[in-house]
Amino acid sequence: MTKTVPQSERKHIIFAGRRNAGKSSLMNKFIGQDLSIVSSSPGTTTDPVKKSMELLPFGPVVLVDTAGIDDEGELGEKRISKTVKVISEGDFVIVVLDGQNNLSKYETELFDQLHQLEIPYHVVINKSDLGINYELVNSLKGLKLNYSTVSCVNGDSIHQLKEKVSKLVPDELDHPLISDLVKQHDIVVLVVPIDLGAPKGRLIMPQVQTIREALDEDTIVVVAKDKELRSALNSLSRKPKLVITDSQAIMRVAADVPEDIPLTTFSILMARYKGDLKEYMKGINRIDELENGDKVLVAEACSHHAQEDDIGKVKIPRWLRLHTKKDLQIDIKNGHDFPENLKDYKLIIHCGGCMLTRKAMQVRIKQAKFMNVPIVNYGVAISYMHGAMPRAIEIFEDAISEWNNKN
C-alpha cells in the first residue's frame, strides 16, 4: 500500500522550527529510522529531507524535515526561503520547540504565516527529559495554542504525538465541479464555441469533465455552439437549471440567456474546483485599483505552444490596459515555479492551470497570499473585464459576498 500512492497525492507533514530544536530527531522518531542527520551543531539540516510513510490510522503521508527558520548568513537566508516554500506546500506543520528556550519572533512569525496560509499546525515542545521552561509554556497558553510535550532522547510521549497528528492532518475535501449545483433531471446547457482556438476533433478538458460530472448526477446535458444557443433554449420545454459557457463568449451568450436562468463559465467552475474563487474576487477587486507603472504578472503554468493572438501573451495584456486605461508593466512568465520577486507585483493573473494538480495550484495561490499579492485566473478576469460580473458568479455564495464587500 505504501508504494502505490504517488508522493504528490500524499499529505505532506512538515517539521519546522528553529535550528537544534530537534526537528530531525523527531522526524526520525516518527519513521522509526535514523534517516535525517542529527547533531548538536545548529544548521545540520540544509536541504529538505522527505520520507513516505503510513501514519496510522490516517494513511499514507510524506514527512518533510526542513532547515531552521532562524538560519544565518547569506546561505542561511536562501535555506530559509526554501523552507518557507516547503512549508507553503505542506498540508500540516509540526512546529518543534526546544523546551529549554523561550518563544521567539521566529516562532510567532511562523504562526502568523501559517494562519495566513490557512495551514493547520501543532506545536511540540521537545527535550522534556531536560525539563521544561515555564515561560515557554505560558507564552503558548497566552496565544491559546495547544501543544504536546515529548522527548526524542527517551521516547516519552512520541507514540501519543503520532496518534494525535494522525487525527489532526486534514482529510481530503470533496471539490465538486458542478455536482453541488444540479440534481437529477435538471437540464444543463453547455455553450462550446468551435473557433480557431478549439482543438481539432475534440473538446477541452473542462468541458469533458463538466459533461461527465453532470451525467454522473443524472442530469440532462445539452451542448450547443454559441450561434445555436438561442434555438437550443427555445427548443426546451423546461427552463434549464444552469447555462455554462466558454468565458470568451460570455457577453454574446449573456445576451441570449434570460436573466432568470443562472449563467456561469467553465473557467469559473474550474477556478472553484482547482483554485479559490473567493480569493480570485480579491484579484478582481485589485484590477480597478491599479495605477500607472504598477507591475502585473501574467503567469502560465506550462510553456504550451503559443498561438497568434495568444490569450496570455496578447489578449489579457490588451484587455487589461484597455480596461484600466493605465500604463502597466506586464510581465509574462511561464514554468513550474513562480518567479521569486512575487512581492514586486500588484496583481497576478494566472492561467487556468489545466496541467497542474489541484494541490500545485493551491500552492501557487498560497504563495501569492503569503506575499500579499491578489491573484485571479484568466477566465475570471476575462468575465470581469468583459462586463459579465456579477452575473457569472451569482450562484456562488462566498464569491458573491466577497464581490459585494467591495462593490
Ligand X SMILES: Nc1nc2c(ncn2[C@@H]2O[C@H](COP(=O)(O)OP(=O)(O)OP(=O)(O)O)[C@@H](O)[C@H]2O)c(=O)[nH]1
Cβ-contact 150, 26 below 8 angstroms:
yes
What value, to the nearest 5°, has the Cα angle with vertex 133 and ends 131 and 137?
120
H helix or E strand, kind and range, residue 80 = helix 73-88
Stretch that binds ligand SF4, among 80-88, 245-253, 297-305, 362-370 (CB under 6 A): 297-305
CB of 22 to Mg ion, least distance (A): 8
CB of 12 to ligand X, least distance (A): 18
Tell me how crowded residue 347 is: count the other CB atoms within 10 A of its CB: 26
CB of 10 to ligand SF4, least distance (A): 23
How far is residue 381's CA from residue 265's CA, in Å, rounded to a whole number? 12
**Length, in residues, of the chain:** 407
Contacting ligand X within 133-152 (CB under 6 A): 151-152
How far is residue 150's CA from residue 99's CA, in Å, rounded to a whole number? 9
Pairing, β 59-65 against β 49-55 = antiparallel
If one asks whether residue 76 binds ligand X (CB under 6 A), the answer comes out as: no
Tell me how crowded residue 38 is: count the other CB atoms within 10 A of its CB: 17
Cβ-contact 119, 141 below 8 angstroms:
no
Contacts of 345 (CB under 8 A, 6+ apart): 295, 296, 297, 331, 373
Rounded to the nearest 10°, the torsion over CA 113, 338, 173, 175 is 140
Residue 301 contact, options ligand X, ligand SF4, Mg ion, none, Cβ 5-8 Å cut-off depending on partner type:
ligand SF4
Tell me whether residue 68 or residue 353 sits nearer to ligand X (CB atom).
68
CB of 89 to ligand X, least distance (A): 19
CB of 77 to ligand X, least distance (A): 15
Task: Name residue 15's beta-bridge partners.
Answer: 65, 94
If one asks whether residue 301 binds ligand SF4 (CB under 6 A), the answer comes out as: yes
Tell me whether residue 145 or residue 355 sits nearer to ligand SF4 (CB atom).
355
Residue 367 contact, options Mg ion, ligand X, ligand SF4, none, Cβ 5-8 Å cut-off depending on partner type:
none
CB of 107 to ligand X, least distance (A): 13
If one asks whether residue 212 binds ligand SF4 (CB under 6 A), the answer comes out as: no
If one asks whether residue 45 binds Mg ion (CB under 5 A), the answer comes out as: yes
If one asks whether residue 129 binds ligand X (CB under 6 A), the answer comes out as: yes
Stretch that binds ligand SF4, among 43-51, 143-151, 325-333, 346-354 (CB under 6 A): 346-354
Map grid coordinates 486534514 to a residue: 170
Binding to ligand X by CB under 6 A, coded x per residue (else -) over 43-72, reads xxx---------------------xx----
Cβ-contact 372, 305 below 8 angstroms:
no
If one asks whether residue 239 binds ligand SF4 (CB under 6 A), the answer comes out as: no
Summarize as ranges the residues that interact with ligand SF4 (CB under 6 A): 300-302, 304, 351-356
